[in-house]
Structure 1
Amino acid sequence: MTLPQQAVLTVSQVAVHLRELLESNPYLSDLWIVGEVSNLRASSSGHSYFTLKDSAASLNCVLFRGQGGAGILDNGKSVRAHGRMSFYEPRGSTDFMVDRVLPEGEGELAQELERLKARLAQEGLFEESRKRPLPQFPEVIGVVTSPTGAAWQDIQNVVRRRYPLARLLLSPTQVQGLDAAPMIATALDRLDTDGGPDVIIVARGGGSLEDLWPFNEEIVARAVFRSRIPVVSGVGHETDFTITDYVADRRAPTPSAAAELVVPDGDVLRQTLLAWTEQAQRSVLRAVEGSRAEVATLSRRLDAGLPDLGNLRRQVDDLADVMNNSLAGRMRMARLEVDGLESRLRTLDPAATLRRGFAMVQLGESGGVVSSISQISGGESLTIRVADGSFSASAGSDRTLDSEAENSQAENNQAERYQPENDGPDNDPPVDQQPGDQQIEPPTMEEPAKQDPPEPAPLPPAPPANRRQRRQPPEPPGMARLL
């Protein structure tokens, strides 16, 4: 037997060729298949393996972790699965790679929706107590919708018409199809950041239950629930309800209604502001009129109670003039007195005395000021201080006591000689007597005092030669006139 002349392939080559044929066929790369679930098995990695069958055939299926609809799978349940055909070389099997599972029929979808609603409600996602109020005057509004859909256009029109101060921030996403649910969740997370919008609108136009199904997915519901920014749901029409509506902070029947719910009406704001302004003006006018009436009443009462108020005012003015004049006179006298004291201080200034030709004599060793010749010994070193400096000198042996000083000393001696004896019980010396002085006792009647008669007091010194010399103030101690 002769074999045909053709290439011989390995098993691996055939398997790869089969996989490439299946995956390159556009018809087999985008399939919806209806069947009954059987042999369902979930692996530890989170993937689901099952079989779709009908009365005549069966097909191996794989649903990887993270794809939509894993919770719908159940043995014996009819589902609609979307995916692509592929060939798994190690096992040599043709598999249907599922990326989306939906219940078969409207009835099945509705039942699945109710089951998911019940589970999420039990977890607290629908609690009214957790829902937040919307900002009254939002500055930035985030929008999660398709950039090419009518919902985005409707939202822009409403915001521009009602509140053009707000800025719109679009987070684009698909709103229908197999990949819509995870994309919607990602778009929500993209806006939920620090410094993001003040409020978020999730919007889509109307459609069938299958068209709106991405907004019933658990992944979208949990994204709305964890958002830190208030979320408004505007999905479908008035009669359409999705799980997103229940989780959101506020629900609007349409995208346009959601925009109206988020922003205030500019016309209403202007009317309200005008009404507040008019009310404030009326309040101010009423207050002014009331104050005027009160002032008029008080003025009339004042005029009636004080008819001679004018006379009293004139008396007050006269007293004020007298007080001002008296104060002015006292100020002038005080100024003159201060000037006189200042003149006397200048006269008594030692520096001024030195400038008039006097000198201050100081002991050379101790630096003490010399006020009497009794302080100076012959040959003692002296310092003579004048107005512009000082010089050294030596004291001579001759000393002369001034006549005025001699008279003063004689008067003091005479006064000491005639001091009366202290008759006190303690026999203390007189107040003017210093310790060590000899006490002179006055004569008694029995025995005359044996003492020399007192010398006559010297005559007082002659008056100064002229009045100018007499008016000069006494020189400070230690000052000597330089002739």
Structure 2
Amino acid sequence: MSSGTEQSARENTGHSAENPWPVRTVARKIADWIHRLGAVWVEGQLTQISARQGTQTAFLTLRDPSADVSMTVTCPMRILRSVEPPLREGASVVVHAKPTFFLGRGTLSLRANEIRAVGIGELLARIERLRKLLAAEGLFAVERKRRPPFLPKGIGLITGRASAAERDVLVNTSARWPAARFQVINTAVQGAQAVPQILRALSKLDSDPDIDVIVIARGGGSVEDLLPFSDEALCRAVSSARTPIVSAIGHEPDTPLLDHVADLRCSTPTDAGKRIVPDVREETERVHQMRDRARRALHGWVDTQCRLLDQLRSRPALADPLGPIQRRSDEVALQAQRGTRAMMTVLTREQAALTSARARLAALGPAATLARGYAIVQYSDPEGNLRVLRSVSEVAEGTPLRVRMADGVTHAIANGETGE
């Protein structure tokens, strides 16, 4: 049996630890499966271009700008030279390629038969489509934006290493508030590495409880240079961050999508340094003004209360508290005197009336008659009551009589004699 027949028999009988496949078999099967795949259009950023003189094949590295993923692309040199303008590292391209597996190295690559550079117009059109999509999802809504704290205890800064943007933010912030504390993370701010590094830095700062605001800063540049700050993955990460995000990208005319998603958009990195912290001189002056206003308000209130107390003290009830009592006491005494005089007048008048009545009563009473020599003879009736004797016929002879005269009482006994 030939070697090819033996190999086919081993492949058809399966594989196991006792009957393993050789590397070439596995590599060939993978290659056969990959080679059945069709061609595909792929978009990415060129991070490396290897085109040596005298070779027929160029090697490119195509990277996803939103993820740490890259693939090798091979193409004939004539295709690479035909692209206008000439391709450079960092350029965005669209490649029509077919997956290819190289048996010798066991590597996967894309074999390109057409390469198109993505022009400025196409980039702007894609950014506009993404802008409309994110706006429709509400990522640009004003009501979802958070106000950065008045005085953050910690400031996160994502920017390029030793860049003018980093210097502008740090210098202007420290000039306004010298005690500002920064945590700076330097990342790539353009090219294929920018978005993944910025995303990692954003995640780290957003999870730090000591960071109250995060600034993403970069100086000006071309549309291609600022392209990472219009990346969809970065925009969505900024939208979902819990910490307020400040965007300070480029100059005033530059408006990447990050400016719309961020909680605060600053026209330049210098402007960001002025807006994330207050000015210590202005705040000190404001404190002094507030102290002066508080002092004036307190003095005004005290003066008002003093005037009120003076008004209260000037009222008669408080200026001379015993005066009304004394006046009321005099009035009571006067009324008492009037009452006494009225009572004495009434008593005198009644006393005189009583004396007059007594005189009239005495003149009409029996005592006055007795004083003139008359007497009152009384006898006792059968019940023992004294009765005035008015007729001699009322008593019998021998009846005891009681004779009352002006100066006393004597007793007598009736006899039978009668006369006038």
Moved more, 174-183 or 197-206: 174-183
Q: Distance in 2 between matches of 1:130 and 1:182?
A: 25
User: Corresponding residue for 1:125?
Assistant: 139
User: Corresponding residue for 1:185?
Assistant: 199
Q: Distance in 1 between matches of 2:146 and 2:298?
A: 38
Counterpart AA for 2:102? E
User: Corresponding residue for 2:40?
Assistant: 40
State the Cα distance separating 1:182 from its structure 2 match.
Answer: 0.9
User: Corresponding residue for 2:241?
Assistant: 227
Q: Distance in 2 between matches of 1:178 and 1:102?
A: 18
State the Cα distance separating 1:291 from its structure 2 match.
Answer: 1.9
Does the 8 Å CA contact 2:63/2:192 hold for their aligned counterparts?
Answer: no
Does the 8 Å CA contact 2:41/2:94 hold for their aligned counterparts?
Answer: no
Q: Secondary structure at the match of 1:245?
A: helix
Counterpart AA for 1:120? L
State the Cα distance separating 1:121 from its structure 2 match.
Answer: 2.2
User: Corresponding residue for 1:265?
Assistant: 279
Call closer, same or farther: CA 1:170–1:58 in 2, change over 3 Å: same
Q: Distance in 2 between matches of 1:102 and 1:274?
A: 65
Q: Secondary structure at the match of 1:283?
A: helix
Q: Secondary structure at the match of 1:221?
A: helix
Q: Distance in 2 between matches of 1:246 and 1:103?
A: 27
Call closer, same or farther: CA 1:169–1:80 in 2, change over 3 Å: closer
Call closer, same or farther: CA 1:146–1:64 in 2, change over 3 Å: closer
* Residue 139 (str. 1) matches residue 153 (str. 2): yes
Q: Distance in 2 between matches of 1:118 and 1:276?
A: 47
Question: Any residues of structure 2 matched to 1:277-288 within 5 Å, and which?
Answer: 277-288=291-302
Q: Distance in 1 between matches of 2:275 and 2:190?
A: 24
User: Corresponding residue for 2:103?
Assistant: 90
Normalised TM-score (structure 2): 0.52
Question: Any residues of structure 2 matched to 1:305-320 within 5 Å, and which?
Answer: 305-307=320-322
State the Cα distance separating 1:287 from its structure 2 match.
Answer: 1.4
Q: Secondary structure at the match of 1:241?
A: coil
Counterpart AA for 2:290? W
Does the 8 Å CA contact 1:141/1:201 hold for their aligned counterparts?
Answer: yes
Q: Distance in 2 between matches of 1:124 and 1:249?
A: 13
Q: Which of 213, 229, 247 is the equivalent residue of 1:215?
A: 229
Question: Any residues of structure 2 matched to 1:56-205 within 5 Å, and which?
Answer: 66=67, 80-81=92-93, 88-90=101-103, 95=109, 104-205=118-219
Q: Which of 293, 305, 324 is the equivalent residue of 2:307?
A: 293
Call closer, same or farther: CA 1:273–1:246 in 2, change over 3 Å: same
Does the 8 Å CA contact 1:174/1:184 hold for their aligned counterparts?
Answer: yes
Q: Distance in 2 between matches of 1:69 and 1:87?
A: 15
Call closer, same or farther: CA 1:153–1:82 in 2, change over 3 Å: farther
Q: Distance in 2 between matches of 1:178 and 1:226?
A: 23
Q: Distance in 1 between matches of 2:61 and 2:299?
A: 81
Report the number of matched residues.
252
Does the 8 Å CA contact 2:61/2:70 hold for their aligned counterparts?
Answer: no
Q: Distance in 2 between matches of 1:185 and 1:290?
A: 62
Counterpart AA for 1:285? H
Call closer, same or farther: CA 1:227–1:102 in 2, change over 3 Å: farther
State the Cα distance separating 1:119 from its structure 2 match.
Answer: 2.3
State the Cα distance separating 1:97 from its structure 2 match.
Answer: 8.7
Q: Secondary structure at the match of 1:264?
A: coil
User: Corresponding residue for 1:347?
Assistant: none
Q: Secondary structure at the match of 2:40?
A: strand
State the Cα distance separating 1:127 from its structure 2 match.
Answer: 2.1
Runs of 5+ unmatched residues, structure 2 = 1-23, 25-37, 43-55, 72-82, 85-90, 327-420
Q: Tell me which structure has the larger Cα radius of gyration.
A: 2
Q: Secondary structure at the match of 1:170?
A: strand
Q: Distance in 2 between matches of 1:63 and 1:147?
A: 25
State the Cα distance separating 1:298 from its structure 2 match.
Answer: 2.2
Does the 8 Å CA contact 2:171/2:273 hold for their aligned counterparts?
Answer: no
State the Cα distance separating 1:306 from its structure 2 match.
Answer: 2.3
Query: Which of structure 1's runs of 4+ aligned residues deviate more than 6 A?
Result: 57-62, 91-94
Does the 8 Å CA contact 2:94/2:118 hold for their aligned counterparts?
Answer: no
Q: Secondary structure at the match of 2:217?
A: strand
Q: Which of 234, 255, 278 is the equivalent residue of 1:241?
A: 255
Runs of 5+ unmatched residues, structure 1 = 1-11, 13-37, 43-56, 71-76, 312-483
Q: Distance in 2 between matches of 1:64 and 1:107?
A: 21
Call closer, same or farther: CA 1:212–1:234 in 2, change over 3 Å: same
Does the 8 Å CA contact 2:94/2:117 hold for their aligned counterparts?
Answer: no
Structure with greater proportional helix content:
2
Q: Deviations over 1:350-379 (max 9, x none)?
A: xxxxxxxxxxxxxxxxxxxxxxxxxxxxxx
User: Corresponding residue for 1:412?
Assistant: none
State the Cα distance separating 1:247 from its structure 2 match.
Answer: 0.9
Does the 8 Å CA contact 1:138/1:199 hold for their aligned counterparts?
Answer: yes
Q: Distance in 1 between matches of 2:307 and 2:220?
A: 66
Identity of aligned residues (%): 33
User: Corresponding residue for 1:479?
Assistant: none
User: Corresponding residue for 1:475?
Assistant: none
Q: Secondary structure at the match of 1:133?
A: coil
Call closer, same or farther: CA 1:171–1:61 in 2, change over 3 Å: closer
